[in-house]
Amino acid sequence: MPEIRRDPIIGRWIIISTERGKRPSDFGHDKDNQGSIPCPFCPGNEEKTPPEIMAYRPRGQKSNESGWWLRVIPNKFPVLQIEGQLNRSAEGLYDRMDGLGAHEVIVETPDHTKSLAQLDDDKIQDVFWAYRDRIVDLQKDPRLQYVLIFKNRGSVAGASLLHSHSQLIATPMVPIRVRQEIVGAQRYFDYKERCIYCDIIRQEQQQNVRVVDENQDFIAISPFASRFPFEISVLPKKHDSHFEDIQKSEVNNLGRLMKSVLNRLERVLDGPPYNFILHNSPLKQPPCEFYHWHIEIMPKLTKTAGFEWGSGFYINPTSPEYATKSLREIENLL
Amino acid sequence: MPEIRRDPIIGRWIIISTERGKRPSDFGHDKDNQGSIPCPFCPGNEEKTPPEIMAYRPRGQKSNESGWWLRVIPNKFPVLQIEGQLNRSAEGLYDRMDGLGAHEVIVETPDHTKSLAQLDDDKIQDVFWAYRDRIVDLQKDPRLQYVLIFKNRGSVAGASLLHSHSQLIATPMVPIRVRQEIVGAQRYFDYKERCIYCDIIRQEQQQNVRVVDENQDFIAISPFASRFPFEISVLPKKHDSHFEDIQKSEVNNLGRLMKSVLNRLERVLDGPPYNFILHNSPLKQPPCEFYHWHIEIMPKLTKTAGFEWGSGFYINPTSPEYATKSLREIENLL
């Protein structure tokens, strides 16, 4: 069983995934499996993955057979396990619990070679529908506190397979970065009685130097204090604390904006490795006025030195205003 | 002038180092300069660096000539600049200031091929004396709040040159990770009236499953909630909030323990890339009972996916107990 442990000083939770336990000799040069054949995510290879959790496929088709256009499966090498109880316990001044949770893979397309940004409008929308469906389902599990949804694109960004997919990790605690955002946003709200994200959107629209793209429902901005070159945040314009409460018309516009933004990144940076991550309210938190869900997109262009993890102090060689300008200009080439 | 910006939600400061400004086309495959000849850090090439800030060399020798065994120079491509004023200002709800600070390089040895762990005892001690001397000197600058000292070893860990060196960045604000540690340690102290780091040391000595190495004055442990495989913390056994107050005999023992620990890592992991970072009290903070300076060593063995930055949620495939056991056993092979 993996184990979840809490840093006693700053309160960060980490997972010791002993089942994947690596010995010193295992840390050789990374094998790049990106081109591994046969690909377990391709249609026809359904038996190479654990049985599917859900899939979008034509009515009447059987599970675990080809025909689907989106498929959610348990991760074959999960960092957390769904069976069991938390067994919270102390070890002197330390805190631990069993590594209980879910680890799923969202296969975004049956097409081995297509990137998320290359999917048709309705198919990229279905990826966000799948995120929502999984959150709504996992919400029913009283042991879980948070659903972390993210995408690693490219081996440099941590993807072990080329076939386009996202991942979901459901955890029995709230990740520290999200908790810090919630605390910061709450503090601002207590003082101003306004959502800080809503205020940021208003200011960005006014200044108009860091708005990468927008449509009726969503806006993509380069954060004022971007940690990484070409970092982008995508936010709903209308205040909403919970992603899973998204309206149908909004899903359409989220898909369109994400597609446009990812395409701009692809073209300006020549198909960069990237990560994106959905920052959402904790599962058990009721709708609130102070937190605002959003997606953080982080192209992986620079080597982040470990001291950046050790200090929380980031050096960004590209100003967000310059990044915005480059990403906007590419539109004219279309 | 570089610019320092604050994230309005979680309060993290970042540096937009516009002077190093990268255009999209600059993010190609990283050139590996590790073997660049002629090496600017080698004796005889002193004119290839900015004039030295200090050096340890035989009495009577001139500055900026060879003969030194340790040399501190301004970084040729500084992320912060020492001249000017802070000019703190607002931009709507955002906060910014000029990128004022110091960025220095500590060349640890004249020998191009020696690693820090391979230095003689007195020479590795001198590296820590140099850290101290620089902190004491920079403390006099009223504009500065913190001195961040770190080492990147290997290009994967962010080192651009092979010749063994550390870096120093002095900043007009306290890095968020250090601030979080201070806040967490203060909270524990308020409740228990004991230093949490001292309590951790006591518990680790008692449990004796995560103690990698120790001597009279220092202890090296694998943190209970290690984020990375083979992560190590080195702490003074006697409570001390400020590294710069270190005693002479303690410097000797710090050098010896760091040498032993780095050698163990080198041998167990076959010369891994790593970072280490000194976590110290802020410059203007008086000595205190609740914070305890320490060094965090982070071997860079796994690809850290961006979602780990985006969530603060780490997955570690190697338990700290297993790492400790491997690092201890290597001793027997000596």
Rounded mean pLDDT, B196-221: 98
Which residues share a beta bridge with B235?
Answer: B219
| Dist CA B286 CA A242 (whole Å) | 44
Find out whether B130 and B56 touch, Cβ atoms under 8 Å.
yes
Q: What is the pLDDT, as a whole number, of residue A311?
A: 83
Q: Is the C-alpha dihedral spanning A203, A207, A210, A216 positive or negative?
A: positive
Inform me whether the pLDDT recorded for A31 exceeds 60: no
Q: What is the chain A residue with the closest CA to B280?
A: A311
Residues of B in contact with A185 (CB under 8 A): 9
In CATH, what is the architecture of B177-302+314-333?
Answer: 2-Layer Sandwich (3.30)
Residues 6+ positions from A108 with CB-CB distance below 8 Å: A70, A116, A119, A123, A124, A127, A164, A165, A166
Residues 6+ positions from A113 with CB-CB distance below 8 Å: none
Interface ipTM = 0.91
Q: Is the C-alpha dihedral spanning B60, B63, B66, B72 positive or negative?
A: positive
Rounded mean pLDDT, A227-232: 96
Mutate to test the interface with A, among B307, B322, B329 (most CBs of A within 10 A): B307
| Dist CA A38 CA B301 (whole Å) | 28
Tracing tokens 């480059």 back to the chain, one arrives at A326
**In Å, how far is B8's CA from the nearest CA of chain A?**
8
Inform me whether the pLDDT recorded for A144 exceeds 50: yes
* Token code pair at residue B249: 């005999």
Average model confidence (pLDDT) across chain B:
92
Inform me whether the pLDDT recorded for B198 exceeds 90: yes
Mutate to test the interface with B, among A152, A304, A315, A321 (most CBs of B within 10 A): A315
> Do residue A155 and residue B303 have CB atoms under 8 angstroms apart?
yes
**Rounded to whole angstroms, what are the CA distances from A68 to A133, A297, B43, B107?**
16, 27, 65, 59
Inform me whether the pLDDT recorded for B73 exceeds 90: yes
Find out whether B316 and B226 touch, Cβ atoms under 8 Å.
yes
Where does the pLDDT of residue B334 fall: very low under 50, low under 70, confident under 90, or very high at 90 and above?
very low
| Dist CA B116 CA B167 (whole Å) | 13
Q: What is the pLDDT, as a whole number, of residue A14?
A: 94
Q: What is the pLDDT, as a whole number, of residue A18?
A: 73
Task: At B288, give phi and psi (nearest 5°).
Answer: -140, 165
Find out whether A127 and A68 touch, Cβ atoms under 8 Å.
no
Q: Is the C-alpha dihedral spanning A86, A90, A93, A98 positive or negative?
A: negative
Would you list the DSSP string of B78-137? -SSBSSS----EEETTEEEEE-B-EEEEEE--S-TT--GGGS-HHHHHHHHHHHHHHHHH
Inform me whether the pLDDT recorded for B25 exceeds 80: no
Average model confidence (pLDDT) across chain A:
92
Inform me whether the pLDDT recorded for B91 exceeds 60: yes
Which residues share a beta bridge with B288?
Answer: none
**In Å, how far is A17's CA from the nearest CA of chain B?**
5
Q: What is the pLDDT, as a whole number, of residue B205?
A: 98
Inform me whether the pLDDT recorded for B30 exceeds 50: no
Inform me whether the pLDDT recorded for A228 exceeds 70: yes
Find out whether A10 and B10 touch, Cβ atoms under 8 Å.
no
CATH 3.30.428.10 fits domain A33-173: yes
Find out whether B295 and B278 touch, Cβ atoms under 8 Å.
yes
Find out whether B49 and B43 touch, Cβ atoms under 8 Å.
no
CB-based burial label for A124 (10 Å; 0-12, 13-18, 19+): buried
**In Å, how far is B148's CA from the nearest CA of chain A?**
8
Rounded mean pLDDT, B80-92: 92
Of B277 and A305, the one with more pLDDT: B277
Helix (H) or strand (E) holding A320: helix A320-329
Inform me whether the pLDDT recorded for B127 exceeds 90: yes
Per-domain boundaries in chain A? 33-173, 177-303+314-333
pLDDT tens, residue by residue, B245-300:
999 999 999 999 999 999 999 999 999 999 999 999 999 999 999 999 999 999 99
Catalytic residue among A165, A239, A279, A292: A165
Where does the pLDDT of residue B28 fall: very low under 50, low under 70, confident under 90, or very high at 90 and above?
low
Inform me whether the pLDDT recorded for A47 exceeds 80: yes
Inform me whether the pLDDT recorded for A133 exceeds 90: yes
* Token code pair at residue B229: 């495989």
Instruction: Report the candidate in A310, A223, A115 with the shortest Cα–Cα distance to residue B304.
Output: A310
* Residue B328, SS3 per DSSP: helix
Q: Please list the active-site residues of B.
A: 165
Inform me whether the pLDDT recorded for B31 exceeds 60: no
Fold of domain A177-303+314-333:
HIT family, subunit A (3.30.428)
pLDDT tens, residue by residue, A52-98:
999 999 999 999 999 999 999 999 989 999 998 889 999 999 999 99
> Do residue A5 and residue B207 have CB atoms under 8 angstroms apart?
no
- Tell if the pTM clears 0.90, that is, is over it: yes
| Dist CA A103 CA A94 (whole Å) | 25
> Do residue B9 and residue A184 have CB atoms under 8 angstroms apart?
yes
| Dist CA A58 CA A53 (whole Å) | 16
Inform me whether the pLDDT recorded for A29 exceeds 50: no
**In Å, how far is B17's CA from the nearest CA of chain A?**
5
* Residue B11, SS3 per DSSP: coil
Largest CA distance in chain B: 62
* Residue B14, SS3 per DSSP: strand
Mutate to test the interface with A, among B145, B207, B311, B325 (most CBs of A within 10 A): B311
Helix (H) or strand (E) holding B187: helix B176-192
Residues of B in contact with A148 (CB under 8 A): 307, 311, 313
* Residue A101, SS3 per DSSP: coil
Strand ranges inside chain A, DSSP E: 3-6, 13-16, 54-56, 70-74, 89-91, 94-98, 102-107, 146-153, 165-171, 211-214, 218-221, 232-236, 274-279, 294-299, 314-316
Q: Return the exposure string of B83-110: e unless at least 16 CB atoms fall within 10 Å of the residue's CB, then b.
A: eeeeeeeeeeebbbbbbbbbbbbbbbbb
> Do residue B305 and residue A158 have CB atoms under 8 angstroms apart?
yes
| Dist CA A321 CA B105 (whole Å) | 30
pLDDT tens, residue by residue, A250-288:
999 999 999 999 999 999 999 999 999 999 999 999 999
Q: Which of A167-176, B25-34, B282-291 has the lowest mean pLDDT?
A: B25-34
pLDDT tens, residue by residue, A93-117:
999 999 999 999 999 999 999 999 9
> Do residue B12 and residue A272 have CB atoms under 8 angstroms apart?
no
Q: What is the pLDDT, as a whole number, of residue A333?
A: 52
> Do residue A307 and residue B152 have CB atoms under 8 angstroms apart?
yes
* Token code pair at residue B190: 């308020």
Of B253 and B330, the one with more pLDDT: B253
Give me the residue from B12, B196, B307 closest to A225, CB to CB.
Answer: B12
Beta strand pairing call for A70-74 and A54-56:
antiparallel
Inform me whether the pLDDT recorded for B19 exceeds 90: no
Residues of B in contact with A21 (CB under 8 A): 317-319, 322
Equal fold, B3-15+32-173 vs B177-302+314-333: yes
Q: What is the pLDDT, as a whole number, of residue A28?
A: 56
* Residue A153, SS3 per DSSP: strand
| Dist CA B171 CA B148 (whole Å) | 8
Rounded mean pLDDT, B47-72: 96
Rounded mean pLDDT, B220-229: 96
What homologous superfamily does CATH list for B3-15+32-173?
Answer: HIT-like (3.30.428.10)
Neighbouring C-beta atoms of residue B156, cutoff 10 Å: 19
Where does the pLDDT of residue A21 fall: very low under 50, low under 70, confident under 90, or very high at 90 and above?
low
